[in-house]
Structure 1
């Protein structure tokens, strides 16, 4: 069975100051021998491939040059109306005031024109450009069209919670009782649980939709839809404090406001250091009990525990019991989940496992989307927990998402690669630059904290490329018979031609098999990359969002705002010009 790699999620971009960095030369950086072009499947003149169902030509070490600027090839799947609509959308998205105030304009339109007319206008313009439909049945034509052109689909129910917006179903917290286990009085309304159950059913329908339309495609899920975002934030805070506890046990200096992904975890702790640190902070454990705890975490019995062993050995659901022995009721005590939260956490795990059980049964891979940093540690924790279960077979079922605009991300990618090999499961990942840049910087500024986002585009690009290189270098370990010895798989989710070209060049230099690497772009963007890569035999995917128009509006607004720089960048200007040329060619064909 031919293996297909993970598909993609979303990419965010940067400000006008650095927008010029997006436009990178031509294909000269890659030798022509890196590509192979078969003489079959040439583009027709009527916007359709002469053989759309034929197998795509396979790249090889010796080949003719591939051209990403061939408009007829890039847009052969689009009708004249779709070309015109795409050109108009790009024109509008290049207008700064409209992009900056699109959420306000939407609210004003609803008040003046009413929701029905507003959503009709959205449906016929931005929605139909960036989304495939409102239900799993509506999207069938789009998924089948992608399949005709050898493009995989990443099916995603795009209704989403707004970053920083607390659900109304969460009751206010009594400020006098915010301490941790077992005293916390935080209460969760079970109406939100019913909503999460309903969303779990929607995600299961999406998994079946992938199986029925593009069997080698991908389903994307958001964990913020399967559990209360406030609970995910509480879990993330708890995980961050458990990480800081590891440093405290080693007598390391602690910065309570340090970025979670930047915390140093490279050292190991021996038994005496562990006991001394623990007894300084906790009571109720004998030395024999502490030695038993240490030995249980010391998997390789070398007399030390690493952070990987520590994080695998300390269970989130057990923190409540652990902190009851705290000598000082500080941040860790306050962060511990209470009994109700542990119950809700387990309910969320059951929903996720229900989706993944179905995915495993049908052979559909599932991408766990990355979200905002207040809840991302919890998402990472649950995703790795699921990878331990579902990535031990022939193919990885669960793929994590890494946002490389976050500081310290290459280190985290390498840590998870090491974890997969040590624990014996297959590593699968999607790499994106990031999708919450604007809101993350605003929150950090409001809180007086250092931004978790890289300061410049160049830093993010370096992170992105380093992470790709780490995964490409994680080849098969022939001495390891377990799934952990398998080569890592990656989906490079990027609209940046330079990054795509660079990845292909690295694959050639390192001898990386094509079934380990995929490329993904958003529906409605970078068709010149998606369809050209597919035509030349590379694993190419479109991210296919769907959902009711009124529920998808937050996604459309965020997509427009987060991509405002790329939508006005030279790269997209080039794509807009290609759209214009192809539209004119269709309207005035040359005999």
Structure 2
């Protein structure tokens, strides 16, 4: 068994950060750890951008450069290459939130196709990624999920959504780039799941090209996995899943309460953690059919994954297992795993500063609500600063 102190190595964790970047990270996490400051900061930022104050430079040199790779894919490459030298790959994530128009869905699809071509033959960029609501209206997904009849126009929209999914999956299949498809709210996820299963049937015959995302704060997801495992085993195709804890907690609970159904979300954080670990263990029990991308900032889950790999005799660099964290966070996990020879990818958001702000604001707000995450980051940065002084 490996020792439980792998993630304590701050020298490896922050090897890419200069002293000034380390100071900036310390300042940012210090800010983020205070809820009132986050509220004031996000309000002030939104206001400044809306009235076109010249704040982009300031945003770019602080929060943007810490959490994002650049304004376009070329701009990201120095960061991508530096991380790859340390054994960490990147997932270029165009983090501009789309508008609800057919034209913007086409633009988003073209963007993913272009990024997939951009990633082809680049070892540092093994994945492409998109969010289903970037390819179609939430309301259309909801009606399909809840088996409500579609209007003629909606039927055309749904056909277009299927077409966009297929185009991107095919491009990934041709270029050898794998595809991570993000999760959505539970009330539309069924239609997304069914559509992705179709894509897996078509494109995951030899190896996993298409990955769905399992949000483990949903208590019904292990049942879902057991069901699709049966289907895939019978029909002879492979399954890829990114597993995460989940992103829409307040929204999910609020809707369940308002509409009077049982919340699909685990009742406690502890239950979510246990569910995550059970789902991950289940996937490790079926490595011949299932490929797992462990999207986690939780050290215990990462240690458990390493233990499971060891128990099952799965090599560190076996492509059926990936670890992933967000850029700008949990470097102590990513870079130490990378150095050990595990497959690791950082989600690297990028896009024009102004357009990426909603994403950054969400990150800041999420960080304030995840107890312990920010203080852990601060603690590690502090230790690295002291180590460098010595």
User: TM-score over 0.5 for the alignment?
Assistant: yes
> Counterpart of 1:150?
87
Q: 1:470 to 1:107 in 2, by over 3 A?
A: same
Measured against aligned partners, the alpha-carbon deviations of 1:54-98 in whole angstroms (never above 9, x if no partner) come to xxxxxxxxxxx7531111111101122221121111111110223
The answer to whether the 8 Å contact 1:366/1:397 transfers is yes
- Determine the structure 2 residue equivalent to 1:93: 32
Give distance in 1, aligned partners of 2:239 and 2:49.
45
1:375 match: secondary structure? helix
Q: CA deviation at 1:149?
A: 0.9
> Which residue does the alignment assign to 1:556?
360
Q: Deviations over 1:410-462 (max 9, x none)?
A: 11122222221122211111100011112222333343443222110111011
Per-residue displacement from partner, 1:551-576 (whole Å, max 9, x unpaired)?
2222122222223233x51x542332
Name the counterpart of 1:384: 197
Does residue 364 (structure 1) correspond to residue 177 (structure 2)? The answer is yes
Q: Distance in 1 between matches of 2:71 and 2:79?
A: 12
- Provide the residue aligned with 1:460 in structure 2: 272
Which of residues 233, 236, 261 in structure 1 aligns to 2:142?
Answer: 233
TM-align CA RMSD: 2.1
Residues 402 and 429 in structure 1, CA contact (< 8 A), matched pair in contact too: yes
TM-score, length of structure 1 as denominator length: 0.62
Give the superposition deviation at 1:215: 5.3
Question: 2:19 & 2:132 partners in 1: Cα distance?
Answer: 38
Change in Cα spacing, 1:562 to 1:374, as seen in structure 2 (3 Å) is farther
Q: Secondary structure at the match of 1:474?
A: coil
User: Which among 304, 310, 313 is matched to residue 502 of structure 1?
Assistant: 304
The Cα of 1:212 is off from its aligned counterpart by: 5.3
User: Do the aligned partners of 2:367 and 2:374 also contact (CA within 8 Å) in 1?
Assistant: no
Which of 122, 134, 142 is the aligned partner of 2:59?
Answer: 122
Q: Which runs of 5+ in 1 are unaligned?
A: 1-29, 33-64, 162-166, 170-191, 239-334, 477-486
Separation in structure 2 between the aligned mates of residue 452 and residue 500 of structure 1, nearest angstrom: 25
Alignment of 1:60-209 (within 5 A): 67-100=6-39, 103-110=42-49, 114-161=51-98, 192-209=101-118
Match among 378, 382, 387 for residue 576 of structure 1: 378
1:584, distance to aligned residue in structure 2 (A)? 4.4
Q: Answer yes or no: is 1:222 the counterpart of 2:148.
A: no
Which one of the candidate residues 204, 214, 228 is aligned to 1:402?
214
1:337 matched to 2:150: yes
- Structure 2 distance, partners of 1:123, 1:347, is 36
- How far off its partner does 1:387 sit? 0.8
User: Is the 8 Å Cα contact of residues 396 and 427 (structure 1) preserved in structure 2?
Assistant: yes
Count of paired positions: 388
CA distance in 1 between partners of 2:266 and 2:44 (Å): 30
Secondary structure in 1 matching 2:187: coil
How far has the Cα of 1:115 moved from its partner?
A: 3.0
Q: C-alpha distance in 2, partners of 1:227/1:498?
A: 36
TM-score norm. by structure 2 comes to 0.93
* 1:240-279 equivalences in 2 (<5 Å): none
Partner of 1:352: 165
The equivalent of 1:529 in structure 2 is 333
User: What displacement does 1:524 show?
Assistant: 0.5
Equivalent position of 1:246 in the other structure: none
**Which of 527, 531, 538 is 2:342 aligned to?**
538
Q: Residue 43 of structure 2: SS of its match in structure 1?
A: helix
Structure with more of its chain in helix, by fraction:
2
